[in-house]
């Protein structure tokens, strides 16, 4: 796992510039540095050494030094690929995965990407035709940002802060404000800056003589249904998950597991205990507030599985913690679960360098309430339209305190399509609320059609498949994987996600939908996997999620910060929000009406602006 950066063209970084660029992302790979420099090209890497620690340095090249490569991530099938290449006459100087990629590119050209399994962001300089090739993994686990300059040069990096360090001008992309207020993150292929874009998941970008083209090399197929019995499907799902876990156990550095006690992390950890000799190290954190504490459940699973379990109850200073995290987030980002993820990564990094987690289980196997609730609500759209005034009155009265009930009532609006209703369900606030908060120049950017257009395109066999496809294309790479990458790499920790193995994802898309949601049970087949590994009473409990006491923090430890950030002259002069409506929302929240879903993205946007726009 590493951080990579570089550039090509007349403005490519020189050695001094490349050093400054790598300094900005040193946290991603503090073990060693590597650089390749030639007129018009620069490749750099900060390495976190995990596989082939002794001889796995990058950049790597072919025998003639005409192809040079840096990459961030892990290739889990590199040993099988290496054996095949050796049989064809390729000779290797190292034992790791990076040199395998060079020889694989020699053998197959860009099509080599179809043969690799893993998480990766790859940069290849091919001097034979003076081209730079950028490649991102199928699910979007590893980030890859780029910026084009006026003279035709191109810069790339694992984090946007490295592009800034390279001298790339970074000005606000106004649509990002509305995107973050709506969904909590910026949408690919964009960033928070006008000049910076991200290479989408499963994509290749090619720069050649100032020309830039991209194409997608993989997409999951939601149109096909596997004809199979449930018992056979369950057996195959177990085989694929176990194989995905086993592939992710290769490491020369200490390795452990993030264990929350939920189905996903339990399945991953249980298979680890079967595959690793000795005790698996497991890590969990909790808060004093029992509503946000899963540590007792994690402890029960760890005791059953016999892991070496380490847990910590946390009472952080919210203001100091938020400032630390905001300084790492070079993109505006408003998913508050990055806080416990960051804290867990920091805690685990004391003992391990690699951790496996349960990311992706909900999006791959259908684990969210919305997957059953949204189609059901759309089926009674006319009845909901009639009930809508009552729901609005109940919400306005402030008499409803239960967050789930409030969320359901907030969705009691008529929608013309399932896509429209799903967008509303994924939004942090209603269009009415967001329109009131945003200033006119930003309000007009709320209704971009990209979400609904992508949701409604052909190729999904049913409503569940449409929702899963949307989340795999937008929510997972835009929010959850950004959170996981930034939180762990800020602490120099590699996180691996077996449930996002692309072969497992391809299998899951073909499963009949009633294997995923059955009799009101979401994620049914994955739950059956978990129940085969641990007693069902240990895992059959309401879904909690990885959350913080956000509403309470905004009234207590973050009260002063939130008022300062959202009501001072700097915020008002920025002109993003309606100042009177911001003050009204703050007042409502402090009086006990939870408005944290709206306040949190405003706070995070303003923190981002002060760190990355004003500095």
Question: Does residue 445 belong to any structural domain of this protein?
Answer: no
Query: pLDDT at residue 393 above 80?
Result: no
Question: Does residue 407 belong to any structural domain of this protein?
Answer: no
Q: What is the pLDDT of residue 441?
A: 87
Query: What total number of domains does the chain contain?
Result: 3
CATH of the domain at 43: 3.60.20.10
Strands (E), 94-252: 118-126, 131-136, 145-148, 154-157, 196-198, 203-208, 211-216
Question: Does residue 391 belong to any structural domain of this protein?
Answer: no
Q: How many CB atoms lie within 10 A of CB 296?
A: 12
Same domain, 533 and 554: no
Same domain, 575 and 519: no
For 295-338, how does the pLDDT look when each residue is reduced to its tens digit (9 = 90+)?
Answer: 888 999 999 999 999 998 878 899 999 999 999 999 999 999 99
**Residue (of 366, 343, 344) closest to 355 by Cα position:** 344
For 128-172, how does the pLDDT look when each residue is reduced to its tens digit (9 = 90+)?
Answer: 999 999 999 999 999 999 999 999 999 999 999 999 999 999 999
Q: Could you give the C-alpha distances from 464 to 234, 363, 369, 382, in angstroms and in order?
A: 19, 11, 12, 21
Same domain, 75 and 202: yes
For 68-87, how does the pLDDT look when each residue is reduced to its tens digit (9 = 90+)?
Answer: 999 999 999 999 999 999 99
Query: pLDDT at residue 545 above 90?
Result: no
Across 605-614, average pLDDT: 96
Same domain, 192 and 329: no
Same domain, 353 and 275: yes
For 245-276, how does the pLDDT look when each residue is reduced to its tens digit (9 = 90+)?
Answer: 999 999 989 999 999 989 999 999 999 999 99
Q: What is the pLDDT of residue 112?
A: 98
Least confident of 133-147, 245-259, 421-435, 561-575: 421-435
Question: Does residue 50 belong to any structural domain of this protein?
Answer: yes
Average pLDDT, the chain: 92
Q: Under a CB-based contact definition with an 8 Å cutoff, are residues 264 and 271 in contact?
A: no
Which residues are CB-neighbours of 426 under 8 A, at least 6 positions away? Answer: 183, 370, 451, 475
Question: Does residue 446 belong to any structural domain of this protein?
Answer: no
- Give residue 392's pLDDT band: very low, low, confident or very high (50, 70, 90): low
Same domain, 283 and 338: yes
Same domain, 119 and 245: no
The more confidently predicted of residues 587 and 313 is: 587
Same domain, 143 and 243: no
Q: What is the pLDDT of residue 391?
A: 63
Strand partners, 8: 41, 154
Q: What is the pLDDT of residue 430?
A: 86
Helix (H) or strand (E) holding 282: strand 281-287
Across 219-237, average pLDDT: 97
Query: pLDDT at residue 397 above 60?
Result: no
Q: What is the pLDDT of residue 407?
A: 65
Question: Does residue 362 belong to any structural domain of this protein?
Answer: yes
- Give residue 428's pLDDT band: very low, low, confident or very high (50, 70, 90): very high
> What is the dihedral sign for C-alpha 321, 326, 327, 328?
positive
Question: Does residue 531 belong to any structural domain of this protein?
Answer: yes
Show the DSSP H helices in 337-380 as ranges: 338-348, 361-365, 370-379
Q: How far apart are CA 403 and CA 545, in angstroms?
A: 14
Q: Under a CB-based contact definition with an 8 Å cutoff, are residues 236 and 328 in contact?
A: no
**Domain limit, last residue, from 539, 567, 591:** 539
For 474-527, how does the pLDDT look when each residue is reduced to its tens digit (9 = 90+)?
Answer: 999 999 999 999 999 999 999 999 999 999 999 999 999 999 999 889 999 999
Same domain, 241 and 210: no
**Domain span at 525:** 230-312+322-367+463-539
CATH of the domain at 503: 3.40.50.620
Same domain, 22 and 62: yes
Same domain, 235 and 202: no
Which residues are CB-neighbours of 600 under 8 A, at least 6 positions away? Answer: 334, 336, 428, 550, 554
Query: pLDDT at residue 405 above 70?
Result: no
Beta strands across the sheet bearing 281-287: 308-314, 281-287, 255-258, 354-356, 494-496
Same domain, 29 and 128: yes
Structure tokens belonging to residue 592: 């006990």
Least confident of 200-209, 320-329, 527-536, 538-547: 538-547
Q: How far apart are CA 384 and CA 386, in angstroms?
A: 5
**Domain limit, last residue, from 484, 509, 539:** 539
Question: Does residue 382 belong to any structural domain of this protein?
Answer: no
Q: Under a CB-based contact definition with an 8 Å cutoff, are residues 6 and 42 in contact?
A: yes
């Amino acid at each position: 796992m590493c951080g990579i950066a570089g550039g090509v063209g007349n403005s490519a970084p020189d050695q001094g510039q490349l050093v400054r660029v790598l300094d900005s992302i040193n946290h991603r790979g503090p073990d060693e540095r590597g650089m390749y420099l030639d007129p018009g090209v620069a490749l750099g890497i900060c390495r976190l050494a995990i596989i082939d620690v002794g001889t796995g340095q990058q950049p790597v090249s072919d025998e003639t030094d005409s192809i040079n490569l840096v990459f961030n991530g892990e290739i889990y099938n590199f040993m099988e690929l290496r054996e095949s290449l050796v049989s064809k006459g390729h000779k290797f100087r190292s034992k790791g995965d990076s040199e395998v990629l060079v020889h694989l590119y020699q053998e197959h050209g860009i099509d080599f990407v179809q043969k690799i399994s893993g998480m990766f962001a790859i940069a290849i300089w091919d001097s034979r035709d003076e081209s730079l090739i950028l490649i991102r993994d199928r699910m979007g686990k590893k980030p890859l940002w780029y910026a084009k300059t006026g003279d035709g040069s191109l810069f790339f990096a694992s984090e946007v802060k490295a592009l800034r360090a390279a001298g790339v001008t970074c000005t606000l992309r106004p649509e990002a404000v509305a995107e973050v207020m709506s969904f909590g993150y910026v949408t690919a292929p964009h960033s928070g800056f006008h000049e910076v874009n991200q290479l989408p998941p499963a994509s290749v970008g090619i720069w050649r003589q100032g020309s830039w083209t991209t194409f997608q090399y993989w997409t999951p197929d939601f149109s096909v249904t596997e004809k199979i019995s449930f018992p056979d499907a369950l057996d195959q799902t177990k085989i694929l998950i176990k194989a995905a876990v086993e592939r992710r156990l290769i490491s020369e550095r200490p390795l452990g597991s993030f264990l929350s006690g939920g189905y996903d992390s339990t399945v991953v950890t249980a298979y680890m205990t079967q595959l690793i000799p000795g005790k698996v190290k497991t890590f969990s954190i909790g808060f004093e507030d029992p509503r946000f504490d899963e540590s007792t459940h994690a402890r029960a699973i760890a005791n059953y599985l016999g892991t070496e379990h380490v847990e910590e109850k946390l009472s952080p200073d919210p203001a100091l913690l938020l400032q630390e995290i905001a300084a790492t987030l070079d993109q505006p980002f408003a998913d508050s679960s990055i806080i416990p993820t960051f804290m867990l990564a920091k805690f685990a990094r004391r003992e391990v360098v690699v951790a496996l987690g349960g990311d992706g289980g909900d999006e791959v196997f259908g684990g969210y309430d919305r997957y059953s609730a949204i189609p059901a609500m759309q089926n009674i759209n006319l009845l909901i339209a009639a009930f809508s005034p009552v729901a609005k009155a109940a919400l306005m009265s402030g008499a409803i305190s239960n967050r789930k009930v409030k969320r359901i009532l907030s969705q009691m609006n008529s929608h013309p399509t399932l896509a429209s209703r799903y967008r509303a369900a994924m939004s942090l606030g209603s269009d009415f609320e967001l329109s009131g908060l945003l200033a006119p120049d930003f309000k007009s950017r709320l209704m971009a059609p990209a979400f609904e257009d992508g949701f409604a395109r052909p190729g999904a066999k049913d409503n569940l498949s449409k929702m899963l496809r949307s989340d795999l294309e937008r929510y997972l790479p835009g929010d959850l994987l950004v959170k996981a990458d930034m939180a762990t790499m800020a602490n120099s920790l590699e996180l691996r996600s077996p449930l996002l193995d692309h072969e497992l994802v391809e299998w899951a898309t073909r499963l009949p939908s009633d294997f995923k949601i059955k009799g009101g049970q979401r994620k049914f087949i994955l739950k059956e996997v978990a129940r085969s590994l641990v007693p069902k009473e240990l895992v059959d409990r309401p879904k909690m999620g990885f959350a913080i006491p956000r509403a309470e923090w905004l009234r207590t430890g973050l009260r002063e910060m939130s008022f300062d950030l959202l009501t001072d002259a700097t915020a008002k002069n920025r002109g993003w929000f309606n100042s009177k409506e911001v003050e009204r929302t703050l007042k409502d929240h402090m009086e006990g009406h939870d408005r944290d879903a709206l306040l949190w993205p405003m706070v995070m946007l303003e923190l981002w602006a002060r760190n990355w726009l004003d500095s």
